Structure 1
Amino acid sequence: MKNKLVGYGRVAASAATGINLVLGSLYAWSIIKSALETELGMDAASAALPYTIECLVFALLMAPAGKFQDRFGPRAAASLGGLLFGSGFIVSSFCPSSANPLLVLLLGFGVLTGAGTALGYASTTPAAVKWFPPEKHGFVIGIVVGGVGMAAVYVAPLTEFLLNSESFGLQGTFRTLGIAFSVAIILFAQLLKNPPAQDTAKRRASNEAFREKESCDDFCWKDMLKTPQFYLLWTMFFFGAGAGLMVISFAKSMAVGSIKEIGFALVIALSAGNAGGRVVSGLVSDKIGRIRAMLIVFVFQAATLAAMSELSSSPAAVMAGVVLVGFNYGSCLSLFPAITADYFGLKNLGANYGALYTAWGVGAIFATVAGKIKVATGSYTPAMALAAVLCLAAAAMSLAVKPLSKPNVP
């Protein structure tokens, strides 16, 4: 098999995927949010705030977490991330008995879990991809980050089961998930390690033609920020991720006709597309190049959104559209870390991709924009049109991205 995982890379990639399957449990918040509203009497805005803070902390700490991972190694960073991630859930378990439950949730889930997510996520991709030659980076990254996309498949029903159980309830659910998540991440983290320096050098030298075509020597984050390519890629990621996050924010509300009573099926369908896009786009981009793959994804996403805005009354069309939106959104989260490795090198991949990943955090603002559009117009159709325009803009920008020359380093 041409894309067969080799050496210890198989173990590292499997452990990294396992960690991401846990970190993707953030999808459970939509279910916990409903419990907060019914059991604690929170309004919708207050119940959504801890998740918003978690995403913000996650995005803002990705670059520092990446630097921590580059310096101390993936095992230490992921272990600390697992401790913080689970601690956030455990702290949140005290919210039902607190005089200020929202504050407990903001400190627990918002800050601690957000910080743990950043440390864990920043550790997985570098630890796996460094074991493989450049022509396999997209495939490996797709598998690793695909774990996040698939998490909803098991987290959603598990969380709902715990919440509805008399033995657990809201407090027990937070506590049980927190302990389980911490243990799982810390155990997987022990399997993460970087390859020996001489092994890395051999892999880099083994494919000089690929490196000349797609990548360059290692950039530190300061050198990376001096390149126009970084800002082009950041803006493309901002538009592409923002368009996907906009639709994800109201996916369940699009349930019509025969699927109206099972809106959660759209969330599961979107997650399946999300995971599939990460793996497929990574594999395809290894064959045709990252930029060509990005161009295809952005144009495909724009066409999908345009079609959905016209066919929103058809249950079958809505289901198919949500899967495709998830597929294209997931593709962004595979292609951008891969091109970061290609263009800026592997040595500082944690910090470099952390800086680029801030585009995802800022892109989350489009979810709020979608809500305001719905309030103003009574429909999400204009929001989908806006998302399509963003994708077309990203596609046009991709034509301007060129490989870099070697950085000027002492």
Structure 2
Amino acid sequence: MRQPGLCSAAAVFLFASLPATVHAQQSDVLEDFRDESLQFQRPDVLSVQERPQPAFDPVPYRDAGIEIMPSIKVDSLYNSNIFAERDARDDLIIRIRPKVAASTQFGNFNIATAAEVDHRQYLSTDSQSTTDYILGLRGRFDIDREGQIYAGTRNGQRTEDRTDPASPLNVQEPVQYRFASGFVGAARSFNRLRVAGRVGIERRDYEDGRDGLDLPVDQDFRNRTILTSDLAAEFAINPDISVFVNGSVNQRDYKAQPLFSPSRDSKGYEITAGTSFQLSSLVRSEIGIGYFEQDFEDARFEDVEGFAARAKLEYFVTPLVTLTARANRGVEESSTLGSGAFVATSFSLTADYELLRNLIISASGGYERNKFQDIDRRYTIASAKMSAEWRLSPRYALHAQYDFRDQEASGTFPGREFSRHRFLAGITIAGM
């Protein structure tokens, strides 16, 4: 039986930042610290992806109270449309991701750190090759069994995917940006009531690009500092049902703007409330609905407001099959000149099947609609994915994946429209 006040408030924050993130990734130092600082205890029932596999899980190196987990992923990837355009151009990509993570605990302190490099080598179109990196550090202090304090930081460089709705349309090479972030958070239980809060800051600096005529494409107008504050509370009515409320406020400050363009600075908030429930051992759900608003400093950008939703429903068909449905609606920043933001609405359904103890097969489908403010542009995106992970031993695992994305554009300024197929196969080597 579940204990009171478990995980729904954390799940709502998780959906707000990464709707597609799976639970198994929450403990990763390099994942979003917004998840980490508000992560609560999991329910008794675990999905196929959450369930540990002691016979096949990687084994870290341990010495003097320190655990070190080295790993490397090597993938070969075929992309049928590397530029995400109507006139498709394909390529074969080799992707190599070495990573090392370490953690230790002394007294009431837990410290974890990780570093990862991500290199994509395009075999026919070398100009698209990129190298990213990320460094992370996180600490947790357990005040007692009912209270924790968190702090962390992440720094690195990322490459923006050309399929991202915020990605510019007219650059020869994918846009890269550097980022630095930090946060502090705390969580406390009071019998049936669980309260958690977090304050964070992130700074991004984008590199300029070049268009088809080799002229500069300014990206400095996207450089920004984002301040966020989150507060969540959950009350357990009984061991299987709880209600929650959470709120988030943000402030976005941009360093520079193109000449004669309006300021992109804005302030906003989102508040949602809902329920988390578990029906026997078959259904687990977190559903939150509410309202969001983003107000721009310059009146030439239209303020955005509307209905907010964060929902997740898991159906445990059998111990070997898990169905997961997700829904999300909120406001996102736009990098398009003349548009301050867009409203994103998405739905997805995923099926995970443990065919063998060491072989998990997954299939998913999704639908997304993005409506831009200030300009007449709408994106309708349909996606599908199939994947398999075969753990040969604690040290070695094979994986394969196929995914499809079809993006249709409409409006006076329709933007990017394309279809893309990707096939991936690779190996992961981890642990000692």
TM-score band by shorter chain is under 0.3
Rg larger for:
2
Instruction: Report which structure shows greater RCO (CA 8 Å, sep ≥6).
Output: 1
| TM-score, normalising length: structure 1 | 0.23
Return the structure number with greater strand share: 2
Return the structure number with greater helix share: 1
